[in-house]
Amino acid sequence: MRIATRLRLVSGATLAAFLLILPLVAGSLLSFRRAKTQFLLANELRVNFLERNSSRDQYFLHREEPSRRSWFLHMEEGEWILAKAGPQFREEGDARKIEEMRVILGENASIFRRIVSNTGALQLAGANRELLEELDKRLYSQMLLKSATFNGLATNLEASARDRVEAAYRRLAVAIGLFAAGLALVTSVVATQLARLIRRRLEPLHAGVRQVADGDLDFRFGGGPGDEFGELAGSIDAMTDKLQASTRGLERETARRVKAVAARESEARFRAWFDLPLIGICITSPEKGWLEVNDHLCDMLGYQRTELTNRSWADLTHPEDLAADQERFGQVMRGELEGYALEKRFLKRDGGILEAELAVRCVRKPEGGVDYFVALILDITERRQAEAQRQALSDQLQQAQKMESLGSLAGGVAHDMNNVLAAILGLATAHLEVQPPDSPAHQAFDTITKAAVRGRELVKSLLAFARRSLAEDAELDLNAVIMDNVRILERTTLAKVRLELALAPALSPMRGDSGALAHAFMNLCVNAVDAMPEGGTLVLRTRNAGDGWIEAQVEDSGCGMAPEVLEKALDPFFTTKGVGKGTGLG
């Protein structure tokens, strides 16, 4: 049987004994308390009796009002004590004594009132004084007899209550003594039995432990009784097994420590390589997030280490590159890839973009899941910028070569056309001078002259493109140039288009070629009108931009230009209009 079970049985038996003796103790205690209450009430009656007698004697000696009031107060107190004592003294003899004392107290009160009344009569008596004095003495004697009887009853009641208190106290002491003796006996028996049992169980355990301590690791208790000591023996056997295994594994531990030293050296070499400021390196886990981040990656992205590790991989990835990165990441997580490499953009702390090459490799757990990732991030921002610069230079070179070819072609064509137009314009002008103004021939030569002038302007544009003519540099008012164009537009082109002017009233003068500017503004306005076939608003603005610059704007509410058209808007001979409607030189 287990020791804990034995203790529970002993505790149960002790509790049962306590419950059996408890009613006896409780009854003795209640009897003691009741007897004590009776004794205190009887004592209060005797004390009240003595105080009442003292007030009575004072009154008979001095016949004063305070003594009279004191007696009646003590009489009322005695009545109250008797009323309280009635329920406590339930024994037949005691109850009869209480009733007799109540009657005597009432008779005494009646006699005392007669004495008080007779006192007043004595003070006024004349011939009857002797008779009244004799009556007073008899009343006093009756009161003394009644008081003596009351005192005897109170003394008897107090004595019997005292006897009951002593008897109840003895019974209570006996009950408590019996309980204490029983408890001591049970405790002694239980302690003795437990001590013998524990000593008998501990002796073989002590011998076995000493044998193991002397080095015999093959010793085993081999089980034991099914109690706590048997469990302790099993625990000692298990401890011996572990100790033996530890001893036998000492060589393995030594080898493991050698490997650990080698691993630390390898870790030190890895850390030295990891911290080199050549490439950004990080180690992340799908479950734990960031595990390691080197300083170079923090510097590349502009973050402190704690700031960087508080952000997710998606937070650092450019939104346009996130889908491709997540797709490769998903393939690795599904076991389709062991790693991947791609070019992507990272978001730096200052809002800038880091162009980088990313190489990721996973390390898997024995069951095949991803344990962690090792990522290498190489900053290729400068390489990208160099590639962009090379591409821009290549584009500029191609554009320059194209422009040079076009310029040579335009210059040759413009030179030949200028010679032809000079002859046509000279001949037409000569005929205009000799023809009557109203004649059909004059009108025909006038049309030829205007066409030749327009052709000459076209040639002038070709020569300007071919850089074979010099711009006319003169001081001019840009607002005046624009207003000249406005007057022409109002007569010819605007139609459904509403024109709004927002010209700066105090626009600074400028230097330039007024013809070239007028031609440029006219082309812009005509293109704007063409972009609003159903009507719209054309706004012309000028303002002083500061630092000697003047800004001019031509704004329309038309359809606008597609991005691919906008890229070629300034290319010579490029036009979106139909054949015969635009030269592309505007």
pLDDT tens, residue by residue, 533-542: 888 999 999 9
Using pLDDT thresholds of 50, 70 and 90, give the confidence band for residue 87: confident
pTM: predicted TM-score of the whole model, two decimal places: 0.34
Over residues 36-43, mean pLDDT: 79
Over residues 237-257, mean pLDDT: 77
pLDDT digits (tens, 9 = 90+) for 465-480: 555 444 567 899 999 9
Using pLDDT thresholds of 50, 70 and 90, give the confidence band for residue 404: low
The token pair at 174 is 């006996």
The token pair at 153 is 């009853």
pLDDT at 18: 66
Over residues 274-290, mean pLDDT: 85
Chain mean pLDDT for the chain: 80
Ranges assigned E (strand) in 424-531:
474-476, 497-502, 510-512
Domain residue spans in the chain?
A: 3-196, 279-379, 400-469, 470-586
Topology of domain 3-196 in CATH is de novo design (two linked rop proteins) (1.20.1440)
pLDDT at 469: 45
State whether CATH 3.90.1150.180 applies to domain 470-586: no
Over residues 138-150, mean pLDDT: 81
In the DSSP assignment, the letter for residue 226 is S
Residue 319 predicted with pLDDT over 90: yes
Q: Which CATH class is domain 279-379?
A: alpha beta
% of residues, the chain, pLDDT over 90: 15
Contacts of residue 172, Cβ cutoff 8 Å, sequence gap at least 6 = 25, 28, 29, 31, 32
Over residues 240-252, mean pLDDT: 76
Residue 582 predicted with pLDDT over 60: no
Using pLDDT thresholds of 50, 70 and 90, give the confidence band for residue 583: very low
pLDDT digits (tens, 9 = 90+) for 432-441: 888 888 888 8
pLDDT at 331: 92
The residue whose two tokens read 């016949």 is: 63
Residue 580 predicted with pLDDT over 60: no
Distance CA 528, CA 555 (A): 8
pLDDT at 7: 65
Compare 17 and 155 and report the one with higher pLDDT. 155
Strand partners of residue 347 = 353
Q: What is the DSSP secondary-structure string of 82-105?
A: HHHHTTT--SHHHHHHHHHHHHHH
Using pLDDT thresholds of 50, 70 and 90, give the confidence band for residue 357: very high
Residue 520 predicted with pLDDT over 90: no
pLDDT digits (tens, 9 = 90+) for 336-354: 999 999 999 999 999 899 9
pLDDT at 303: 92
Distance CA 586, CA 465 (A): 11
pLDDT digits (tens, 9 = 90+) for 180-231: 787 788 788 777 877 777 777 777 777 777 877 787 777 777 765 666 666 6
pLDDT at 317: 92
